Amino acid sequence: MNNLTDTFGRKFPYIRLSITDVCNYSCTYCLPQGYKKTPGDTRSFMSTEEISRLTKALSELGVCKIRLTGGEPTVRKDFFDILKDMKQNSNIPKVTMTTNGYRLDKIAKQLSEAGLDGINISIDSLNRETFKKLTGHDRLNEILEGIKILQKLDFKNIKINAVLLKGINDTYEEFEKFGNFIKKNKIDFRFIELMQTGDNLDYFKKNHVSSKIFKDYLEKNNWISQTFGKDAGPSLNFIHPEYEGKFGLIAPYTKDFCQTCNRLRITSRGDLRLCLFGNTGISIRHLLQDDAQKDELVDLIIKQLHLKKESHYLELGDTGITPNLSSTGG
């Protein structure tokens, strides 16, 4: 039973849990200058013990899916300890991750053996040079090799995320390249509309393009709208009888986007965020220091949920307290 319900009747079975702010890429739309510590925030990232206590509390609240995010989650040396501990909790059937694909070819087998239930990989372009320009790293071939290894291991839930960028990957020609990639690959490919954050206004103005251009492409090419399960969230999903893979679209600037919100976020330093673009966050870390604090932690999370607003205000340029997506788990 899910005990996380807000005042608008939305249920929250899904938690995006950041385990580090550190990212080793310098993507143009997120961390163009590379990772830098948050000025004035001297707190360490949550420990494996704190994360374990948090996981137990979340399972009592009816959470059925946790996605490990960052930064880049695999830069933590104890990443696999965290993953294995979560998989030991039978009350949380889905543990997934979002990654930039760093060393995926080296750790794919280990991820599968650890019981990871799904992986989202950021690939904004299938062109090697474009990928390098966007991320600062020439690692596209390594990532694609890692995907092949996962497929050979019969890893089922593979998704690719790409941020939709004007003049880079927003043409029908680029859409066709991604389509050809998933035609014989059982992979979900999703475009994410570029979102304004606290520190990317100039970049946003220059590179934002409406998600409508991709949706129009899908409709023109006979892709069929599909609905997923309760933990899928507000993404639009499309299937085609001639394709083994699927297309998806996350369009945060569309009307009523937040009506199907089903996720909460917890930062790497133990702050509960009710919305990626909210204006407030509350620390729950003081209640992760002892197993005996679990009931108090559960009660605090339930009470905080009543403060969740009906919608973000991205369309008004209100980005809340999110300086960049790496700081809150994207």
Q: pLDDT tens across 226-276, in order?
A: 876 555 567 889 999 999 999 999 988 777 777 888 999 999 999 999 887
Average pLDDT, the chain: 90
Residue 92 has pLDDT above 80, yes or no: yes
In a domain, 5, yes or no: no
In a domain, 2, yes or no: no
pLDDT for the residue numbered 174: 96
Phi-psi region of 275 (alpha: psi -120 to 50; beta: other; left: phi over 0): beta
Which of 97-101, 128-132, 228-232, 293-297 is predicted least confidently? 228-232
In a domain, 253, yes or no: yes
**Residue 91, domain extent:** 14-327
Q: pLDDT tens across 184-236, in order?
A: 999 999 999 998 887 788 999 999 999 999 999 999 999 999 876 555 567 88
Confidence of residue 309 (pLDDT cuts 50, 70, 90): confident
In a domain, 84, yes or no: yes
In a domain, 239, yes or no: yes
Strand pairing partners for 271? 283
The CATH number given to whatever domain includes residue 321 is: 3.20.20.70
* Mean pLDDT of all residues in 25-46: 88
Under a CB-based contact definition with an 8 Å cutoff, are residues 320 and 277 in contact?
A: yes
In a domain, 287, yes or no: yes
* Mean pLDDT of all residues in 146-171: 97
Strands in 271-273's sheet, in edge-to-edge order, are: 224-226, 236-239, 246-250, 188-193, 158-164, 118-122, 94-99, 65-69, 14-18, 263-266, 271-273, 282-283
In a domain, 285, yes or no: yes
Q: Which residues 6+ apart lie within 8 Å of 105 measured at CB?
A: 142, 143, 145, 146, 149
Q: pLDDT tens across 11-31, in order?
A: 999 999 999 999 999 999 999
In a domain, 6, yes or no: no
| Percent of the chain residues topping a pLDDT of 90 | 76
Number of structural domains found in the chain = 1
Token pair of 252, please?
A: 């945060």
